[in-house]
Amino acid sequence: MKLTKKTYLSTDSDKLIDKNFNELGKKQSRINISSFFQMYKDIFFRIPKTGANSHTTLYNESGNFLENPQSSNSTKMKRLNKQIKELQNKLSELEHKNEMLSSVNVAQELEIREIKQS
């Protein structure tokens, strides 16, 4: 058996050897779907019901993603109720304008009758 020895210049060794000690540091684990759900099951009862990081937040975000009929219907109903109120306000304004125009017309008709009779 023949042994050979390779020697490197220090500039070449910097390219070949990682001197940052990355291997000794804590490795970040990659989370996959299976491990996510296992972690979720493990911490389920520690997650608050409401708040920023809560079951409610998860429910709403998932519902929006899935277009949950319950949440989308609620959103549609709010939007339609707002639209109904706006239309009712416009209708009231138009009815008021119509009443005013009618009274102006009646007054003009009375003036015309008076002029004709004179």
Residue range 35-52, pLDDT digits in tens: 999 999 999 999 999 999
- CB neighbour list of residue 76: distance below 8 Å, 6 or more residues apart: none
Contact yes or no for 72/79 (Cβ under 8 A): no
Of the pLDDT bands very low, low, confident and very high (cuts 50, 70, 90), residue 22 is low
Tell if the pTM clears 0.75, that is, is over it: no
Higher pLDDT, 54 or 6: 54
DSSP class of 2: -
What does the longest C-alpha to C-alpha distance in the chain come to?
139
At 63-117, the pLDDT tens digits run 778 876 666 677 788 899 999 999 999 999 999 998 888 888 888 888 888 888 8
Which of 48, 68, 67, 44 is closest to 56 using CA atoms? 48
DSSP class of 83: H
